[in-house]
Amino acid sequence: MTSTSTSVSAQTMANAIRALAMDAVQQANSGHPGAPMGMADMAVALWKRHLSHNPANPAWANRDRFVLSNGHGSMLIYALLHLTGYKLPMQELKNFRQLGSKTAGHPEVGHTPGVETTTGPLGQGITNAVGMALAEKLLASEFNKPGHAIVDHRTYVFLGDGCLMEGISHEAIALAGAWKLNKLVALYDDNGISIDGQVTPWFIDNTPARFEACGWNVIHAVDGHDADAVDAAIAQAKASADKPTLICCKTHIGKGSPNRANTAKAHGEPLGADEIQLTREALGWAHEPFLIPKDVYAAWDAKDAGKAAEKAWDAQFAAYKKAFPAEAKEFVRRMAGELPKGFDQLVVDTAVAAHSKAETVASRKASQLALEAFTAALPELLGGSADLTGSNLTNTKSTPNLRFDDAGSVVKNEAGQGGRHINYGVREFGMAAIMNGVALHGGFIPYGGTFLTFSDYSRNAIRMAALMKQRVVHVFTHDSIGLGEDGPTHQSIEHAASLRLIPNLDVWRPGDTAETAIAWAVALRNTDKPTALLLSRQNLAYAPKKDLSDINKGAYVLSEPQDVGFKAGKKAKAVIIATGSEVQLALKAQQLLAEQKVPVRVVSMPSTTTFDRQDVDYKKAVLPKGLPRVAVEMGSTDGWWKYGCAAVVGLDTYGESAPAPVLFQHFGFTPENVAATVQAVLTQ
């Protein structure tokens, strides 16, 4: 990108950001002016002198990624997007934090052009950035050829004290160092202030030493208000061959405000009209609110430089396409997030094979069987586990472990393939947020595994994936008291119900190999939402099926009265709804009830969230009006009452430490108890 215009100083360019930040926050009477005012000079150095991007095409594949991890300072990125030429007109800045505007309180990907990820929950932005940098490195290793570096960009992130206080930041920086993500550059806004004031009583970390201990290159004590000094530090960071870089920028929050700078007052509230006027005078900014002089706009304008950068890359890619047409086509497909041709047939073949074999295996094993087929056909599937690979079964023959050599290059096998299974270590939250970053970057569909009870550690990143509409797959095994002796700390009770409450998250709890294969297929087709797969530790018998066509609707009729000896046409008197391992309980209870001359229908509902999206007619066909309903699931009962259940065989207490069969008997998860519950409902 071009250097700063000689006609407009870097200080004036930074002051434009400060003015827009304090004016927008004041007009909204809400927001955080201090951080943007403090980081304005850092932004000049990065956005004007180093960042490769094209305001006319925010989705350009080889753009540098910029993440504002301290997302409360959102007016910084909104000012930058506006000034550099993105489709974010001044009226949107005037409507900061207002209903329907593109300038929400915290930056939102997909909502504002140029925003790469939704930030606000501190620490997740830097972790998303680690995922983006990993995706860039892996794609470069896979697609770049000698003389053809079509994947060659950097990930930059601004972060503050709050991000570093959150524990997830340690998970992220440790992995970034282990993976030698040399194209990741973090600029630390070291202003020493948070909402409660000076951070020194509660934040005494030696931040540079912490990053150095995690394998980062650290550039110390940079004056964050000297754009030239920050510029030089970024140039130094870009020269790193085998380490990510942290640039420690000492700044003053609310820079320019005579009475609010260096105070918590500048952090999260408007400066006030009088203080804004004093700040304008102190900065020498003699312009009305929301007025930017033409020469300042011209100095910031990145449209021509961005167009030229993308045009140059287009020429590179054209040469690459000519030399490597198959790889070019695959790269375009992957970056577009499209599944390969033949995927639909692959799903059919995988599900039919599972149905034909009718294996009795744990659904975690059924997941691995499905993954064997899907990872072989989809090179974009990037797996992993939080130190539970042998339990989650997320690895396959097509996904060797990801490793890096001493120089930071991806280790490849004899066939020239790099690893596609990540050992995240015991870092569930970091894994989930890194997967979000990988998905946001494009080119991969990330999935990662841990125990269902540890979804609590991941939960906010799962929520962020749902909010951002990202295709991320969470493999949660050991889904109930069925894991047995590990006891209540590891036995999930409320977790399925809790995950089902997250809007735009698909939750599947399949009961056998066919349901698991189809659950995976649905997850891979979910281009605008994440998916959670809840899988058993214990073996599950295959449930015989007439066909597989309705499983992908989330619930279907598994067994009718005539399937257990009643004459054709015999109508059911009740419906048993079950998920996962409890489907077998429902089928056995149906048989017991048949012996008692009570005809019932069994409905398998592996995904309540998917079933809830079906049309009314289908729902009525599966759950007929007037028939009493009994749900069976080894977990919280609360979510089942919405289906009009007369009773729920569930669990609203914590589990116990004992072998699984003992626990099933103890808590009433037996065919006899389910049958008795149905009988009790029918006699009410």
The Cβ-side half-sphere exposure at 240, using a 13 Å CA radius, reads 26
β-strand pairing of 65-68 with 155-160: parallel
423 φ, ψ (degrees, to nearest 5):
-90, 100
Query: In angstroms, rounded to a whole number, what is the distance separating the alpha carbons of residues 332 and 330?
Result: 5
Q: Which of 428, 515, 582, 633 is catalytic?
A: 428
Number of other CB atoms surrounding residue 489 within 10 Å: 9
- The DSSP annotation for 139-151 comes to HHHHH-BTTB--S
Chain CA centroid to CA 414, Å: 33
**Is the CB of residue 72 less than 8 Å from the CB of residue 106?**
yes
Alpha carbon distances (Å) from 473 to 335, 447, 521: 18, 4, 11
Query: In angstroms, rounded to a whole number, what is the distance separating the alpha carbons of residues 80 and 66?
Result: 11
Residue carrying the six token digits 């058993």: 536
Query: In angstroms, rounded to a whole number, what is the distance separating the alpha carbons of residues 268 and 195?
Result: 7
β-strand pairing of 193-194 with 197-198: antiparallel
Residues 6+ apart with CB under 8 A from 335: 61, 442, 443
- 580: nearest Cα among 600, 608, 599: 608
Number of other CB atoms surrounding residue 323 within 10 Å: 12
Tokens of 182: 């040399």
Catalytic-residue membership of 428: yes
Task: Provide the 3-class DSSP secondary structure of residue 412.
Answer: strand
- Residues linked to residue 156 through DSSP beta bridges, in sequence order: 66, 185
Tokens of 474: 């969470």
**Is the CB of residue 128 less than 8 Å from the CB of residue 439?**
no
Indicate the helix (H) or strand (E) that contains 531.
Answer: strand 531-534
Query: In angstroms, rounded to a whole number, what is the distance separating the alpha carbons of residues 75 and 78?
Result: 5
Q: Residues with catalytic annotation? A: 428
